[in-house]
């Protein structure tokens, strides 16, 4: 902070990192309100507080956003130890409350007593829509199996519109480029994950995560469901719920004769890894992916069977093939290893060959000096290095998928 004036130094003390200031909770019991172990923070806050993710004008700022675990009724409160006043060159503190009010729906609580009163009514909350799948995961800490359920809902379910308005606020904190969807468009499907838990002898439900899927029309009489948003809430991450949700959604659409295939909108790196695992798990028992057929290379039979039976498109099927062929390949055998490497690199080299075709066209219309400039941009040795790096990274990613599959 060298070179700052005394006033600037003083003002700098009133800057707060909003990722640290925002405190989120999923509350099941009144004692959770005071338990720091139930608190979690956002990964992002730039969509609300700007690229710097800073709120100005406060010391010790806390933005409390507490949700009842099931129906997500909300407590919103702002706390701070001090706030700037007009003595500092008439500067004003950021209007934090207005920024938060822009994304959370009305009807939230502002005091703890009202929130606890709502918590007592949580026993009446039940999941929305149609039950698709039930599964259990062993909890080491609790020493027991915990049951989870996945439901498909839509806006005709009583109370779901209001619930979804509260649920979608989490997107702003955990998806980097999140936006709210048009819920009046009937082509949206909603898939929800809930945990069943006991409280005073009653069975209650806690929200775990959700997925939104948009059903695109494909001429003449098909649809192409596209995953738009997917979020497992932080307290439940790393437990396998994402894979359960994605597989359940795939199985739901697989049964529909009008569905062509299932895609995703601008998938993140983590989503691609999750999809790899789920699709490989679904495909591994198909006859066309037997070890013998894998060693014969990628085939139209694989494309057709994966699309017709599992609603997987050609691009994703090719990736599944490469993962399963890696499992069937003895990489310690020089010939098998070489065959696998060449097979994958033939696909990876596609963009480079496209560039070469473009150059061939340029030769017919560029002057010699212009052509030289274009050729100078292409370093064949560099291309080979990039190709090898891409291959090694793929193999590393594929091995992680296979390791997870072996543990499933």
Please report which helix (H) or strand (E) contains residue 281, including its range. Answer: helix 269-283
65, β-bridge pairs:
24, 76
- CA–CA separation, 328 and 405 (whole Å): 14
User: Taking a C-beta distance cutoff of 8 angstroms, is the pair 373, 298 a contact?
Assistant: no
- Of 265, 370, 388, 389, which is the active-site residue? 265
Radius of gyration of the chain (CA): 26
Q: How many CB atoms lie within 10 A of CB 61?
A: 25
| Tally of residues, the chain | 408
E-assigned strands of 5-59? 15-17, 22-27, 39-40, 54-56, 58-59
User: Taking a C-beta distance cutoff of 8 angstroms, is the pair 41, 23 a contact?
Assistant: yes
- CA–CA separation, 75 and 32 (whole Å): 13
Closest CA to 174 of 26, 36, 45: 45
- Helices 380-407 and 269-283 pack at an angle, to 10 degrees, of 60
Give the SS3 label for residue 198.
strand
User: Could you tell me the strand order of the sheet in which 22-27 lies?
Assistant: 39-40, 22-27, 62-68, 74-79
Assigned token pair, 407: 């543990």
- CA–CA separation, 80 and 62 (whole Å): 6
- CA–CA separation, 261 and 254 (whole Å): 9
Q: 263-264 and 222-232 as β-strands: parallel, antiparallel, unpaired? A: parallel
- CA–CA separation, 13 and 405 (whole Å): 50
265 is annotated as an active-site residue: yes
Assigned token pair, 153: 């809902």
232, β-bridge pairs:
209
Q: How many CB atoms lie within 10 A of CB 362?
A: 13
- CA–CA separation, 236 and 232 (whole Å): 7
Cβ neighbors of 108 (< 8 A, separation 6 or more) are 73, 74, 75, 76
Active site residues: 265
């Amino acid at each position: 902070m060298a070179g700052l004036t005394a006033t600037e130094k003083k003002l700098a003390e009133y800057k707060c990192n909003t990722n640290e200031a925002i405190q989120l909770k999923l509350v099941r019991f009144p004692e959770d309100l005071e338990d720091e172990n139930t608190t979690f923070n956002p990964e992002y806050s730039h969509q609300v507080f700007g690229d710097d993710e800073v709120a100005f004008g406060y010391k010790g700022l806390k933005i409390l956003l507490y949700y009842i675990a099931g129906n997500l009724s909300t407590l919103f409160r702002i706390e701070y130890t001090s706030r700037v006043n007009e003595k500092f060159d008439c500067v004003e503190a950021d209007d934090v409350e207005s920024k938060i009010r822009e994304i959370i729906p009305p009807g939230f609580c502002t005091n703890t007593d009202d929130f606890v009163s709502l918590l007592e009514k949580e026993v009446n909350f039940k999941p929305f829509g149609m039950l698709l799948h039930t599964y259990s995961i062993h909890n080491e800490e609790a020493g027991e199996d915990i049951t989870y359920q996945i439901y498909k809902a839509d806006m005709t379910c009583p109370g779901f519109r209001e619930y979804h308005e509260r649920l979608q606020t989490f997107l702003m904190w955990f998806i980097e480029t999140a936006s709210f969807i048009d819920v009046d468009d009937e082509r949206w499907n909603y898939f929800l994950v809930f945990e069943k838990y006991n409280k005073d002898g009653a069975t209650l439900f806690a929200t775990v995560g959700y997925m939104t899927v948009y059903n695109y029309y494909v001429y003449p009489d098909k649809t192409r469901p596209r995953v738009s948003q997917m979020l497992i809430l932080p307290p439940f991450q790393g437990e396998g719920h994402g894979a359960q949700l994605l597989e359940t959604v795939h199985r739901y659409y697989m049964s529909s004769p009008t569905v062509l295939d299932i895609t995703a909108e601008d998938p993140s790196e983590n989503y691609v890894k999750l999809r790899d695992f789920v699709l490989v798990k679904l495909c591994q028992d198909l006859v066309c992916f037997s070890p013998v057929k894998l060693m014969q290379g990628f085939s139209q039979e694989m494309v057709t069977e994966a699309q017709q039976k599992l609603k997987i498109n050609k691009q994703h099927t090719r990736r599944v093939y490469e993962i399963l062929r890696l499992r069937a390949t003895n990489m310690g055998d020089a010939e098998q290893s070489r065959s696998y490497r060449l097979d994958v690199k033939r696909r990876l080299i596609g963009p480079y060959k496209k560039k070469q075709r473009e150059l061939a066209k340029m030769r017919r219309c560029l002057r010699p000096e212009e052509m030289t400039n274009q050729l100078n941009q292409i370093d064949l040795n560099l291309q080979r290095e990039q190709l090898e790096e891409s291959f090694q990274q793929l193999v590393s990613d594929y091995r992680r998928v296979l390791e997870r599959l072996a543990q499933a």
